[in-house]
Amino acid sequence: MVPAAVGHPGNGVFAALCMTLLCAGLFGLLMLNTAMAEGSFTLHNLQSTSGELTDTQDALTQAIDAQRSPANLAARATKLGMVPADSAAFLRLSDGKVLGVAKPAKKESGFTVVTAPQVPSAKTGPDKKADPATTVTKKGDVTTTTEVVTQPDGSVVTTVTSVNAKTKTTTSTTTTKPPAKKPATKPTTPQIATPTQ
């Protein structure tokens, strides 16, 4: 009787190879998850920065629109000593001919700029909305735009927008002041004179 051949145990190379592949796969998965998390944080930061830059752009656009409004341009022209021209002349480039007659402008007491056509109203009393008064001040990196609007009912709405160019932040506050109340007058009672005897 010959005993059956006893299997010889392996030297562990295959097991070590399997463990190495498993560890390498887990390490790769960990690195992939870390990269994805870092990418999501970067995306969130970029989205928040984009929102702040959009707000800054809107505030700067409003400030530019306020600065180039007809009322502000007229006020600046008056400060520079400019006066409105009553007539104009044009040069035709095709033949070099001057069209129209230009006369020197004369300085008057002042001029007004009409920004919208005036519509007559059947109501009595002031019902027109006053033009907004806008002032822009710059202190360091902060540009502050203040716009004051008087409503038809007499209330005053003040909007203050501050843009910090360094931190890219924009703050805006709006306050409304109610119209001033008229003092109530006391009704006077008629005095009746009584005859004396």
Residue 141 lies in a domain: yes
Q: Which residue has the tokens 């707000």?
A: 55
Out of 46, 63, 83, a domain closes at: 83
What pLDDT does residue 77 have?
Answer: 85
- Is residue 122 predicted with pLDDT exceeding 80? no
Residue 60 lies in a domain: yes
The confidence band for 137, taking pLDDT boundaries of 50, 70 and 90, is: confident
150 sits in which H/E element: strand 142-150
Residue 73 lies in a domain: yes
What domain range includes position 147? 135-177
Q: What is the mean pLDDT of residues 118-125?
A: 50
What pLDDT does residue 102 have?
Answer: 80
Residue 2 lies in a domain: no
Candidates 79, 99, 101; CA nearest to 91 is 99
Share of residues in the chain with pLDDT > 90 (%) = 18
Q: Which letter does DSSP use for residue 196 in this model?
A: -
Residue 55 lies in a domain: yes
Pair 155, 176: CB distance under 8 Å: yes
Pairing label, strands 90-92, 97-99: antiparallel
Residue 68 lies in a domain: yes
Number of domains in the chain: 2
Q: What's the predicted TM-score (pTM) here?
A: 0.32
Residues contacting 45, CB < 8 A, separation 6+? none
